[in-house]
Amino acid sequence: MPKFSLPLTQLIHENLSIVMSFCFSRQPLHELMKSKFEGEWKYLRKSLFAFSEQRAEKACIELAVFLRFLDDQEDISGYLAKTSRRSFGLLVMKDKPTKRLKLRDVANKIIHASHLEWDLSAQHKPVLVCHSQKADKWTRAEVDIVALAAFCGGLIH
């Protein structure tokens, strides 16, 4: 089977870089705004927070698509199922117990989410919350960004 022509691993790394920069710059930027800028600063806030959040969301969607392409080509999910108990977060079900989030679930839940939300409340543990379009089976997926980064950072290109 022919391989996808784009450099998937490089594209995964590029999008991961955007996501990680967003997640780990947010708190220092809030502190900077609090300590150095008095008053409203509407457009500075928009520049520092709104645009970066939109770009991070776009990077998550691209990351999910590229992970799906890579998984379809290399069956990484199959390999991880046989060799690892690695979890990429939590899958919150409607009427069933919460499940561990698998790699393919990460891609699928991001792609099929009604909307994405960031939970950056725990220091050094950012979470991307994917809300279900139809909450009849699952309600949300909570993607552990650091676990995803560990996986993506292990990809060789």
Total domains present in the chain: 1
Answer yes or no: is 49 within a domain.
Answer: yes
Answer yes or no: is 62 within a domain.
Answer: yes
83-93: per-residue pLDDT in tens?
Answer: 998 999 999 99
**Predicted local confidence at residue 5, as pLDDT:** 75
Residues 6 or more apart whose CB falls under 8 angstroms from that of 71 comprise 77, 103, 104, 107
Give residue 63's domain range.
8-153
The percentage of residues in the chain with a pLDDT greater than 70, rounded to a whole number, is 97
Average pLDDT over residues 13-36: 97
81-138: per-residue pLDDT in tens?
Answer: 999 989 999 999 999 999 999 999 999 999 999 999 999 999 999 999 999 998 888 9
Answer yes or no: is 1 within a domain.
Answer: no
Answer yes or no: is 128 within a domain.
Answer: yes
DSSP 22: H
CA 90 centroid distance within chain: 13
